[in-house]
């Protein structure tokens, strides 16, 4: 095996008909004028995508896989000519249905985008307008390209919401994005992309942050649409299970080059490149951790209910309650990990927020180290912040973009009175970064200067800075590619062994649970439907919903260590 990019592709194996999408010798560059000449006066152009080529037939799915920073999303943006002004396409061509996209005017491209080709972005929250209703946002595409009547738009929007699995679509036409769960937001983004029945769909990590059952539904929906509409799909992903489940062909990308481009079956049976083999072998360890049986649990959650009032009318009277968490009980011992799993909207994150003292309880109680903490005022809860910390799903949005890493790490220590200022614990800050696999020189950088995996390491360093006993991990690896996800999980396990940490690990990724968790608790619609030792629950699930979750995990039959 070598690091030389493959020159052979499955293009010769395609049929003689004209491909729906044809990319030839595409190169993308960061020119000198877009770089900071003051910091680097000897700067040279940086080639980010290096002459790649592939094609997609109508009704087929090409999976473009690789780690963060490999150039996958840049390729997708270049196809639709959505690259930022700082980047430049230096050579190559893109043809859709035989027509060149690089020769078209911007006005022509506005007709192509949405009608002939559409894109589903990874982060639905940033793709949706927070001040427009679902009807307005989906209807906007129809107005632009088809100009139907008002009632026709409304009927089509309801039809699209039904097609992507949004419950009670007529009632939710007037909803705003903040009223939807993460999975529901992604469904709405897909509905917008499909509104004008395009020929090509570019899906950039469309299921990364979704739980397994919704992920399965979205993948089944895409599969159904590509068959019924003869839709060509460029599927950008780092999830090898999704690749195994969905793709017809696979292109592996690294450092702006396509290293391997082959039919799916050949790729998984006989990966030819060392990097491809590494991607397949980066799947989580499936050996089970043994559950601990400790007499004195660190955290006890007993009969917890978190209800949100439903208000109506001018006076906003309470007419009912949304039972986000409805009678949940579990225990976590010292040095133990409990994985809390379930669909989006099942109440997992609300339980985590209740443990952190961020949501008031309707009923029940939460005890930490034998003392009740759910009935404390914010000022009384403050001392417990040192012992209970949190790692969020999106590390970038949880950090102040104007602060340097030094101040972000020291913020908790300063606010809890452990040190006087950010400069005082200099050596400890260096040790924190080194402990999570980073370097002292990173202290004076800003969050935007790091990759997603590095930012999550910084978030972990911030959480352990005050030496807590319990960390609530809210989907901390869901947006990371497979190799970085493995590194972060191993880091968490190492810190648990060294510091005796306990984790409440909220996740929808069932593949990471065996090696990570001692216990598993399964939530559905605010209630715990099953809990127990990890090995017992995952090998012999009793509840129908748990069985559905395990059955929904993608690519089980194909993915294996090569």
How deeply is 261 buried, as exposed, middle or buried, from its count of CB atoms within 10 A (0-12, 13-18, 19+)? buried
Q: Which is more confident, 117 or 345?
A: 117
Identify which of 195, 227, 194, 222 has the alpha carbon closest to the alpha carbon of residue 206.
222
pLDDT digits (tens, 9 = 90+) for 248-295: 999 999 989 999 999 999 998 888 888 888 887 766 666 776 666 555
What integer pLDDT is reported at residue 555 of this predicted model?
55
109: tokens are 């491209």
**105 Cβ partners below 8 Å, 6+ apart?**
none
When pLDDT is cut at 50, 70 and 90, the band that residue 227 belongs to is confident
pLDDT digits (tens, 9 = 90+) for 140-162: 988 888 777 889 899 999 999 98
In three-state secondary structure terms, 249 is strand
Kind of pairing between the strands at 299-312 and 317-332:
antiparallel
Mean pLDDT of 494-498: 90
When pLDDT is cut at 50, 70 and 90, the band that residue 13 belongs to is low
Task: Give kind and range of the element (H or E) at residue 550.
Answer: helix 544-552
When pLDDT is cut at 50, 70 and 90, the band that residue 54 belongs to is very high
Residue 414 has pLDDT above 60, yes or no: yes
> Strands across the sheet with 232-237, in order?
117-120, 200-204, 232-237, 61-65, 249-254, 257-263
CA distance 218 to 206: 8
Secondary structure (H, E, C), 87-150:
CEEEEEEEEECCEECCCCCHHHHHHHECCCEEEECCCHHHHCCCCCCHHHHHHHHHHHHCCCCH
For the chain, the maximum distance between any two Cα atoms, rounded to a whole number of angstroms, is 72
What integer pLDDT is reported at residue 3 of this predicted model?
46
Residue 390 has pLDDT above 50, yes or no: yes
What integer pLDDT is reported at residue 420 of this predicted model?
66
CATH fold for the domain made of 286-387+512-552:
Rossmann fold (3.40.50)
Percent of the chain at pLDDT exceeding 70: 90
Residue 557 has pLDDT above 60, yes or no: no
pTM (2 d.p.): 0.72
Tell me the helices (H) and strands (E) count for the chain, helix number first. Answer: 20, 20
Q: Express the helix, strand and coil content of the chain in percent, nearest 5 each.
A: 35, 25, 40
How deeply is 251 buried, as exposed, middle or buried, from its count of CB atoms within 10 A (0-12, 13-18, 19+)? buried
What integer pLDDT is reported at residue 64 of this predicted model?
95
pLDDT digits (tens, 9 = 90+) for 435-462: 888 888 888 888 888 877 788 888 888 8
What integer pLDDT is reported at residue 45 of this predicted model?
84
Taking the domains of the chain in order of start, what are their residue ranges? Answer: 286-387+512-552
96: tokens are 């859709």
Burial 157-173 (b: 16+ CB within 10 A, else e): bbebbebbbbeebeebb
What's the mean per-residue pLDDT of the chain? 84
Q: Say how many C-beta atoms besides its own lie within 10 A of residue 195's C-beta.
A: 25
DSSP string of 157-178, one letter each residue: HHHHHHHTT-SSHHHHTT--GG
DSSP 10: G
Lowest mean pLDDT among 5-14, 99-108, 316-325: 5-14
Residue 92 has pLDDT above 90, yes or no: yes
When pLDDT is cut at 50, 70 and 90, the band that residue 423 belongs to is low
The winner for highest mean pLDDT among 35-44, 325-334, 549-558 is 325-334
DSSP string of 376-444, one letter each residue: --HHHHGGGGGTEEEE-S-TTTTS-TTS-HHHHHHHHHHHTTSSSSTTTTHHHHHHHHHHTT--GGGGG
CA distance 496 to 62: 40
């Amino acid at each position: 095996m070598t690091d030389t990019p493959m020159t052979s592709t499955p293009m010769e194996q395609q049929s003689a008909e004209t491909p729906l999408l044809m990319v030839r010798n595409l190169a993308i560059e960061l020119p000198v004028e877009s770089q900071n000449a003051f910091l680097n006066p000897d700067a040279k152009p940086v080639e980010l995508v290096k002459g790649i080529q592939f094609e997609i037939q109508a009704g087929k799915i090409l999976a473009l896989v690789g780690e963060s920073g490999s150039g996958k999303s840049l390729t997708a943006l270049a196809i639709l000519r959505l690259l930022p002004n700082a980047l430049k396409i230096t050579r190559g061509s893109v043809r859709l249905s035989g027509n060149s996209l690089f020769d078209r005017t911007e006005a022509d491209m506005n007709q192509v985008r949405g009608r002939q080709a559409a894109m589903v972005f990874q982060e639905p929250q940033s793709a949706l307008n927070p001040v427009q209703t679902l009807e307005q946002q989906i209807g906007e595409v129809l107005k632009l390209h088809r100009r139907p009547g008002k009632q026709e738009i409304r009927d089509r929007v309801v039809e699209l919401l039904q097609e992507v699995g949004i419950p009670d679509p007529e009632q939710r036409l007037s909803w705003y994005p903040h009223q939807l769960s993460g999975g529901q937001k992604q469904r709405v983004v897909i509905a917008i992309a499909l509104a004008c029945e395009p020929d090509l769909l570019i899906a950039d990590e469309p299921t990364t942050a979704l739980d397994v059952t919704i992920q399965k539904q979205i993948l089944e929906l895409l599969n159904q649409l590509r068959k019924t509409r003869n839709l060509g799909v460029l599927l950008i992903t780092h999830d090898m299970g999704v690749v195994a489940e969905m793709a017809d062909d696979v292109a592996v990308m690294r450092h702006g080059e396509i290293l391997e481009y082959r039919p799916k079956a050949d790729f998984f049976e006989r990966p030819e490149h060392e990097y491809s083999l590494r991607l397949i072998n980066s799947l989580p360890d499936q050996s089970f951790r043994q559950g601990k049986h400790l007499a004195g649990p660190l955290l006890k959650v007993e009969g917890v209910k978190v209800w949100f009032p439903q208000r109506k009318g001018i006076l906003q009277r309470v007419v009912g309650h949304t039972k986000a968490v409805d009678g949940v009980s579990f225990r976590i011992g010292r040095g133990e990990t409990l994985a809390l799993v379930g669909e989006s909207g099942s109440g997992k994150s609300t339980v985590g927020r209740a443990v952190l003292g961020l949501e008031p309880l309707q009923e029940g109680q939460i005890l930490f180290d034998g003392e009740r903490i759910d009935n404390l005022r914010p000022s009384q809860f403050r001392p417990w912040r040192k012992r209970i910390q949190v790692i969020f799903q999106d590390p970038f949005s949880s950090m102040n973009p104007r602060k340097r890493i030094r101040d972000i790490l020291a913020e908790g220590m300063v606010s809890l009175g452990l040190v006087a200022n950010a400069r005082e614990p200099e050596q400890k800050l260096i040790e924190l970064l080194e402990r999570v696999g980073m370097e002292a020189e990173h202290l004076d950088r800003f969050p935007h200067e790091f990759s997603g995996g590095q930012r999550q390491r910084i978030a972990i360093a911030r959480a352990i800075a005050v030496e807590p006993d319990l960390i609530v991990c809210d989907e901390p690896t869901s947006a990371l590619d497979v190799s970085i996800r493995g590194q972060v999980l191993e880091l968490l396990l190492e810190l648990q062994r060294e510091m005796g940490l306990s984790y409440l690990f909220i996740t929808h990724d069932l593949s990471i649970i065996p090696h990570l968790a001692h216990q598993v608790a399964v939530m559905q619609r605010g209630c715990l439907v099953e809990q127990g030792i990890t090995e017992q629950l995952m090998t012999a699930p009793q509840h129908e919903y748990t069985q559905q979750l395990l059955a929904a995990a993608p690519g089980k039959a194909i993915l294996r260590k090569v």
